A = this chain, B = another copy of it.
């Protein structure tokens, strides 16, 4: 699940009562502790490292604050070529060493259990949106305006972000991450052709660097895109081994659009975890039944919501783990 180690778990709230969000991220012991909570509580088949996609921007020189309700806020935004030039790409992985250390701690805790540790980062277009907007917005108009008014600035910005992001992902792999995810949270804000022309090349650059550093190791790369309905064919060319999708399209339609070669991850509407556990099981089985054959990683279509009952999250996990694929 996305945001798997997070707000819906009471044991996470206990840790949060003692430490704020960024302190947990930056303290390997705490980050590892909350990362492992859903493995212990729900028996999920993977541990998603507790971290945030915006930490790469902070390591590049854009400090971020996380405030309750207001969401992430940057004090300075990128506005000019000079601002892009000032962004640092050297030593980003070193400044984010605490993420790698948390991953290594999780690997030790999980030794012999066969549970992969999943590292992640933000995709370049999505991080560029934050760097340009300074916060989460509904339409990312500053970033879209930059694309139409000064595409060279946007491309330079995404190029530097791609470099820093690849370094961060490679460091997570070296520390023991056995799956790497890239989050294109705001891919849905762009038109199909603008995504293919501007966002895709920067995403491909990250993946190519990671795969080169990976060599023969089996560390698959998965790209999540929210609002992906217009972009699935484009995303199928990004080079990743898996595409993770939101809940708008059923999985058979997703499969038709990405082709037979790529693993699909998804895609229950996070709001479908409301209702009774029995309803959650029915909806999860219906979702799984839309995909035939191998190559599916069951997941939500976006982050788990903070007030979902834990028993409903458990019902989702149980429905997946007991699923008998009729097509297998």
Residues on A facing B (Cβ under 8 Å): 136, 138, 141, 144-145, 147-149, 188, 190-194, 227, 229-230, 247-250, 253, 269, 271-272, 274-275, 279, 283, 301, 305
Contacts and interface: CB of A to CB of B under 8 A. Distances in A.
Given A138-B138, A141-B305, A229-B229, A148 B272 contact: yes
A192 B138 contact: no
A193 B250 CA distance: 8
A191 B141 contact: no
Given A227-B248, A230-B249, 7 more contacts: A144-B269, A148-B283, A191-B247, A191-B249, A194-B269, A229-B230, A230-B248
A139 to B, nearest CB: 8
Given A138-B136, A229-B229, A229-B230, A271 B192 contact: no
Nearest to A150: B275
A271 B144 contact: yes
A305 B144 CA distance: 12
Contact of A250 (B192, B248, B249): B192
Contacts of A283: 148
Given A138-B136, A269-B194, A149 B248 contact: no
B148 A279 contact: yes
Contacts of A279: 148
- Most chain B beta-carbon neighbours within 10 Å: one of A144, A190, A191, A253: A191
Contact of A227 (B149, B227, B250, B272): B227
Nearest to A271: B144
A188 B148 CA distance: 24
Given A141-B305, A191-B248, A192-B248, A271 B227 contact: no
Given A229-B229, A230-B248, A249-B230, A275 B149 contact: yes
A148 B227 CA distance: 20
A198 to B, nearest CB: 12
A84 to B, nearest CB: 19
Contact of A149 (B144, B194, B229, B274): B274
B138 A271 contact: no
Nearest to A190: B248
Contacts of A253: 192
A42 to B, nearest CB: 20
